Amino acid sequence: MSVSEKQGLPFRLAAPSCGEARPDLLVIAGEHSGDEHAARAVAALRARQSELHICALGGPRLAEAGAQLLHDLTASSVVGFVEVLRSYSFFKLLFEEILRWVVEYRPRAICFVDYPGLNLRLAAALRERGLSCKAGGDVRLLYYISPQIWAWKAKRRFAMARDLDSLAVIFPFEVESYADTELPVEFVGHPFLAADYESPVAYDPEAPILLLPGSRRQAVGRILPVLLRGLAAYEAELGAKTEATILYPSEAVLEEICAVGLPEHVRCVPRGSAAIRASAVLTSSGTMSLHCALAGIPGAIAYRTNPLTYLLARWWVRLDYIGIANLLLKEPMYPEYIQAAAKPEALAAELRACRSDPARRESTAAQAAQLRALLNRPANGTVADWLRRGLR
């Protein structure tokens, strides 16, 4: 039995397959979206330098891109204050196991991808232990996809400047957010507008309704019932059943969906197949909502979380919107129904407008074009270019 198993962690991170040589890069991506974005960058990097040995704590997309997957971190991702506290023991042990691996194998660089709750703490710990370049060590610390310091915990930027060697951001306005620090920050373009990007969704006015309850099991358990009640209320208005599709990112999420229970006319489709066509969408506020916005699918956001998590977020977060498209446009492309406001009749009204009102469709198309223009500004090379510079 390994040390980690004796301590209660059900796994031990594998040794790198490069033998006695140092791994070139360790990628740490704790969520499905981070796994996808990092995988695209890793694939582009390895296309230029196939000899690089890249290890990853991420998910299946990073493995497909050629990284040696040490552990599927996406299977255990959680969100929310209360939810994180419930998983505290697991993440504490995971944290120590990652540090043990880095101390033993000394990757030339680490690329943290989003997931600041774990990744920023790891960066600080590596500095404190003298392993990072900022502390006189030889492990470069890179960070891709900035924490939302423009929403909350803005002072994190100073700790990031202290611990990190470089930061790559995906929204152009984020560069200015770090202007009062010495941290090198580059806008590398949004991954959804990369040349090889393939949208998982597409707009079709004759297609079924799309339901997107999120990519984490806890979120799905709270949000999917809300979406289904909204769909049922819309069907009651029509006096007929309406086909709907749920797009899911993993088997773990599919299990949660099945546990909630679905009507026979609602089908589940895995991500990664051909783009799913939709006439309207009811979505949580996550990454998929931005996919839908860029595709010009009219819809609305419905979100529910643990009541204590929501109260704490109201106290700490200072934002007009929770949907990223709404934040970027500074207007509600997707009207937001949060907590008790996510009532069946309100969501039914949104579906009715999305599918029947030409003005709603036209405004959504115009906002989608505006969003693409906003995120498609010239960047200082790609994220793969940024990673190559970080490995020099």
Distance CA 282, CA 277 (A): 14
Place of tokens 């990073």: 62
| Two structure tokens written together for 1 | 């039995």
Chain segment 256-265, per-residue pLDDT in tens: 999 998 999 9
Mean pLDDT over all residues of the chain?
88
- What pLDDT, on the 0 to 100 scale, is given for residue 313? 56
> What is the pLDDT, as a whole number, of residue 368?
97
Domains of the chain: 3-189+378-391 (3.40.50.2000), 201-375 (3.40.50.2000)
Confidence tier at 5 by pLDDT (50, 70, 90): very low
Mean pLDDT computed over 371-388:
83
| E strands, the chain, in order | 25-29, 54-58, 68-72, 109-113, 140-144, 166-169, 185-187, 201-203, 209-212, 244-248, 266-270, 276-278, 280-283, 299-303, 336-338
Predicted confidence band of residue 195 (pLDDT cuts 50, 70, 90)? confident
Q: What is the pLDDT of residues 50-76, one digit of tens each?
A: 999 999 999 999 999 999 999 998 876
pLDDT at 33: 83
Region 239-268: mean pLDDT is: 92
Q: What is the pLDDT of residue 1?
A: 30
* 9 closest CA partner among 100, 85, 91, 69: 91
Residue 215: predicted pLDDT: 83
pLDDT digits (tens, 9 = 90+) for 20-50: 899 999 999 988 889 989 999 999 999 999 9
Residue 17 phi/psi, 5° resolution?
Answer: -80, 5
3-state DSSP of 186-205: EECCCHHHCCCCCCCEEECC
Q: Is pLDDT above 70 for 273? A: no
Quote the percentage of the chain above a pLDDT of 90: 68
Q: Would you say the C-alpha torsion 33, 34, 38, 39 has a positive or negative sign?
A: negative
In this predicted model, what pLDDT tens digit does every residue of 91-107 receive, in sequence order?
A: 788 899 999 999 999 99
Q: Kindly indicate the confidence band of residue 369, based on its pLDDT and cuts at 50, 70 and 90.
A: very high
**pLDDT greater than 70 at residue 77:** no
Is residue 140 scored above 80 in pLDDT? yes
Instruction: Return the pLDDT at 3.
Output: 34
Of the listed ranges 10-14, 80-84, 288-292, the one predicted with least confidence: 80-84
Residue 277: is its pLDDT beyond 60? yes
Q: Are 129 and 103 in contact (CB under 8 A)?
A: yes
